[in-house]
């Protein structure tokens, strides 16, 4: 039985005033069959963890460094993330791969650092519109999987989020067939590399313009175990129905 996960990525949005959304979310979901994770900006991590302690809402960071410590001004290590009480960390988001030139091996280092610190990494992969239109999607996905997923994975330490770059923040969503094709492909790749048992245990999330109106349809796909949500995770009233749809799927 795979873990279902509704994860929210606040990106660079929200100051301490936004923390009330966590309260609302926790009060709306006093029990949840799925794991709920909110990834606020780093300065809010400590307080977010305090607010959500003993609730079904878990907290994650949006990134961590691949090294344990050192002269990396402005970065935070996986250990520092864990020290706030957070349990998850997003690694390899396409916005970081793009804006900070993160390569697959950087993402892999981050996922390994996350595991060493006791965190679960939400590792993002996905093709650009150009790759999609050139029918290169599965090649790109295969390359990202082999380059950025560490050797030693477990369901508690790694989640994969398939996020087509062209669907992030655009309101464009792939067809269910396209989502199914990529998720099934990821599952097969994981089973081939890590064995059937481990490969089948890893939760796969879809990300890219998920909202209340399309979530239930997306969650129908067998290998979609949840969602990584950007814009629609900022307000509890928008994210709540997505959680409810996942619990009902
Ligand atoms: C994201 O940034 O990971 C994301 C999926 O954003 P949105 O839901 O806004 O498309």
- Per the prediction, the chain carries an average pLDDT of 97
- To the query of whether residue 237 is one of the catalytic residues in this protein, the response is no
Exposure of 226 in the CB half-sphere (CA atoms within 13 A): 25
CB within 8 A of 114, min separation 6: which ones?
Answer: 64, 78, 81, 89, 91, 120, 121, 157
Mean per-residue pLDDT for 107-114? 98
Q: What is the pLDDT of residues 70-107, one digit of tens each?
A: 999 999 999 999 999 999 999 999 999 999 999 999 99
Q: What percent of the chain has pLDDT over 90?
A: 98
| CA-CA-CA-CA dihedral for 221, 227, 228, 231, to nearest 10 | 110
Mean per-residue pLDDT for 161-172? 96
Residue 1 pLDDT > 90: no
What's this model's pTM, rounded to 2 decimal places? Answer: 0.96
Cα 11 to averaged position of ligand 1 atoms, centre (Å): 9
Cα 229 to averaged position of ligand 1 atoms, centre (Å): 5
**Look-up: residue for tokens 């175990």?**
225
Q: What is the pLDDT of residues 115-133, one digit of tens each?
A: 999 999 999 999 999 999 9
Q: Which atom of ligand 1 is nearest to the CA of 90?
A: 3
Confidence (pLDDT) at 135: 97
Confidence (pLDDT) at 32: 87
Mutate to test the pocket of ligand 1, among 89, 162, 228 (most ligand atoms within 8 A of CB): 228
Name the closest-CA residue to atom 4, ligand 1. Answer: 230
Cα 9 to averaged position of ligand 1 atoms, centre (Å): 7
Confidence (pLDDT) at 119: 98
Cα 230 to averaged position of ligand 1 atoms, centre (Å): 3
Q: How far is CA 61 from CA 123, 144, 169, 229, in A?
A: 12, 21, 19, 14
In the chain, where are the structural domains located? 5-248
Backbone φ, ψ for residue 161 (5° rounding): -110, 120
- To the query of whether residue 222 is one of the catalytic residues in this protein, the response is no
Confidence (pLDDT) at 56: 95
Cα 163 to averaged position of ligand 1 atoms, centre (Å): 8
Mean per-residue pLDDT for 180-209? 97
Mutate to test the pocket of ligand 1, among 98, 224, 231, 239 (most ligand atoms within 8 A of CB): 231
Residue 141 pLDDT > 90: yes
Tell me which CATH code domain 5-248 carries: 3.20.20.70
Confidence (pLDDT) at 181: 97
Residue 210 in contact with ligand 1 by CB distance below 6 A? yes
Which one from 102, 112, 127, 163 is the annotated catalytic residue?
A: 163
Which one from 65, 93, 95, 112 is the annotated catalytic residue?
A: 93
């Amino acid at each position: 039985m795979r873990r279902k996960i509704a994860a929210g990525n606040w990106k660079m949005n929200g100051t301490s005033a936004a923390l009330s959304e966590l309260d609302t979310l926790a009060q709306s979901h006093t029990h949840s069959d799925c794991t709920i994770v909110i990834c606020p900006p780093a300065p809010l991590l400590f307080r977010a963890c305090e607010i959500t302690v003993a609730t079904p809402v878990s907290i994650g960071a949006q990134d961590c460094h691949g090294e344990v410590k050192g002269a990396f001004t402005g970065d935070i290590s996986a250990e520092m993330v864990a020290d706030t009480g957070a349990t998850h960390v997003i690694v390899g988001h396409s916005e970081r791969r793009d804006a900070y030139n993160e390569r697959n091996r950087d993402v892999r280092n981050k996922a390994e650092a996350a595991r060493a610190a006791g965190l679960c990494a939400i590792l993002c992969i996905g093709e650009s519109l150009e790759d999609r239109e050139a029918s290169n999607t599965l090649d790109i996905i295969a390359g990202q999987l082999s380059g950025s997923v560490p050797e030693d994975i477990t369901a508690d330490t790694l989640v994969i989020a398939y996020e087509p770059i062209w669907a992030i923040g655009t309101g464009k969503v792939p067809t269910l067939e396209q989502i199914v094709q990529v998720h099934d492909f990821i599952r097969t790749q994981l089973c081939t590399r890590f064995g059937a048992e481990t490969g089948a245990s890893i939760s796969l999330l879809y990300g890219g313009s998920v909202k209340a109106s399309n979530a239930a349809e997306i969650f129908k796909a067998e290998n979609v175990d949840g969602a990584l949500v950007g814009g629609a995770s900022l307000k509890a009233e928008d994210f709540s129905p997505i959680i409810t749809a996942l619990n009902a799927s």
